[in-house]
A = this chain, B = another copy of it.
Amino acid sequence: MSKISVAVLGATGMIGQRFIQMLEDHPWFEIEGLYASERSQGKRLGDVLKVRDHEYLDETVDRRIETMDIKKIAANCRIAFSGIPSDLAGPTETELANAGVAVFTNAGSHRMDPHVPIVIPEVNPDQMSAVRDQPTYGESGGYIVTNANCSSTGIAAPLHAVNQAYGLKQVFVSTYQALSGAGYPGVPSLDAVGNVVPFISHEEEKMETELAKMLGTYSDGDFHYAPFKVIANCARVPVVDGHLESLVLDIEQQPTLEELEKCLVSFRGEPQELNLPSAPVQPIIVRHEENRPQPVFDAMAGRPARARGMAVTVGRLRQGNGYYKAFAMSHNTLRGGAGGSVLNAELAKAKGVL
């Protein structure tokens, strides 16, 4: 089987470089070109590295960045993975879909468009079918599938597992978000070193709406939101990669902590059943140490090697005052960014919309 050609948009940014990592030696996809703004044209990827734990193949490091060219991409690629900034993403991704490209994007621009799903394959694989209702799908074969924002992604699978099993009424979440979530150059070091910034633009609103959309359903051409409430406080901490989130859950049926843990640990979704290349064997890991999960130890959780950074780690499960408490941790630019979109494309292929 020949591989599907894909373009990486925004290839010089934090998310773009994570796309490149996830796509190296991918069994189904092959990078056709790396695209970014004119400022980066002609530069070697190796000269604009921003991701700390890179370990690219030599041929990857030597690739040159091209300027974005919709026609060229449409002519050569079935898929575009998009890590471009939101203001640019809106029109560019629309053009690409019009031109017949399947766009899997980390940008938020189209998340609330009709028939555009926010997909996490373990959580709402059925919503992938919404792309068939996008007008471009019938015309050119192009469409848009979005990621959730990184902080929603980090807790979506555990919340979904609990909701399915025991019914979720309310979720109180406070985030400890990593610097890489703001891209590069992103947060000035003078705001970051030895400090916490209790504000991330639009993040709380996104969490309070996206999770309900994803944990709901798509039917009759419409998204039907899940009925539980999310109450979010978001803050940026001086961590490089990995969002930590504190959780207080108000659960309909009151499971024991053992039941709750079992529900999380045994959870499997369609990516696991379909054995998708970037799916972690166990999507939710539960740890028992008193002081985990921690960004430096748990952000990269996930096996096999291709799925590093794709698992969510939950720890400190506790109960009291009628609520359940926990901390959850996931990699914001892998699971919550590029990795999420790559897994979405794998799901799309498995479901026959590619």
A199 and B316 in contact, given A47-B289, A208-B321, A231-B323 (Cβ under 8 angstroms): yes
Are A196 and B208 in contact, with the CB atoms below 8 A? no
Are A190 and B50 in contact, with the CB atoms below 8 A? yes
Closest B-chain residue to A292, C-beta based? B198
Which residues does chain B contribute within 8 Å of A322, judged by CB atoms?
A: 229
- Decide if A258 is an interface residue (CB 8 Å cutoff): no
A196 and B239 in contact, given A176-B176, A296-B52 (Cβ under 8 angstroms): yes
Which residues does chain B contribute within 8 Å of A240, judged by CB atoms?
A: 190, 193-194
Are B192 and A184 in contact, with the CB atoms below 8 A? no
Are B190 and A188 in contact, with the CB atoms below 8 A? no
Are A246 and B198 in contact, with the CB atoms below 8 A? yes
Are A231 and B192 in contact, with the CB atoms below 8 A? no
Are B198 and A315 in contact, with the CB atoms below 8 A? yes
Which residues does chain B contribute within 8 Å of A179, judged by CB atoms?
A: 189-190, 193
- Decide if A277 is an interface residue (CB 8 Å cutoff): no
Are B238 and A189 in contact, with the CB atoms below 8 A? yes
Q: Which residues of chain A from 237 to 274 have any CB-CB distance to chain B below 8 Å in the complex?
A: 237-240, 244, 246-248
Smallest CB separation, A159 vs chain B (Å): 16
- Decide if A187 is an interface residue (CB 8 Å cutoff): yes
- Decide if A290 is an interface residue (CB 8 Å cutoff): yes
A293 and B246 in contact, given A188-B187, A193-B192 (Cβ under 8 angstroms): no
Smallest CB separation, A276 vs chain B (Å): 22
Q: Which of A172, A190, A233, A290 has the most CB of B within 10 A?
A: A190
- Decide if A275 is an interface residue (CB 8 Å cutoff): no
Closest B-chain residue to A205, C-beta based? B320
Smallest CB separation, A116 vs chain B (Å): 25
CA distance A289 to B321 in the complex (A): 34
CA distance A186 to B190 in the complex (A): 8
Are B193 and A194 in contact, with the CB atoms below 8 A? yes
Closest 7 CB pairs of A and B: A174-B174, A189-B192, A185-B188, A233-B246, A199-B291, A174-B246, A198-B327
Which residues does chain B contribute within 8 Å of A184, judged by CB atoms?
A: 188, 190
Are A186 and B186 in contact, with the CB atoms below 8 A? no
Which residues does chain B contribute within 8 Å of A318, judged by CB atoms?
A: 204
Closest B-chain residue to A246, C-beta based? B233
CA distance A208 to B88 in the complex (A): 45
CA distance A244 to B239 in the complex (A): 16
Q: Give per-residue flags for A177-214: 1 if the beta carbon is below 8 A from chain B beta carbons, else 0.
A: 00110001111111111111111000010001000000
- Decide if A294 is an interface residue (CB 8 Å cutoff): yes
Are B208 and A238 in contact, with the CB atoms below 8 A? no
Smallest CB separation, A158 vs chain B (Å): 15
Smallest CB separation, A310 vs chain B (Å): 14
CA distance A174 to B192 in the complex (A): 20
CA distance A323 to B231 in the complex (A): 8
A196 and B294 in contact, given A190-B180, A208-B320 (Cβ under 8 angstroms): yes
Q: Which residues of chain A from 145 to 185 have any CB-CB distance to chain B below 8 Å in the complex?
A: 172, 174, 176, 179-180, 184-185
Which residues does chain B contribute within 8 Å of A231, judged by CB atoms?
A: 172, 248, 320-321, 323, 325
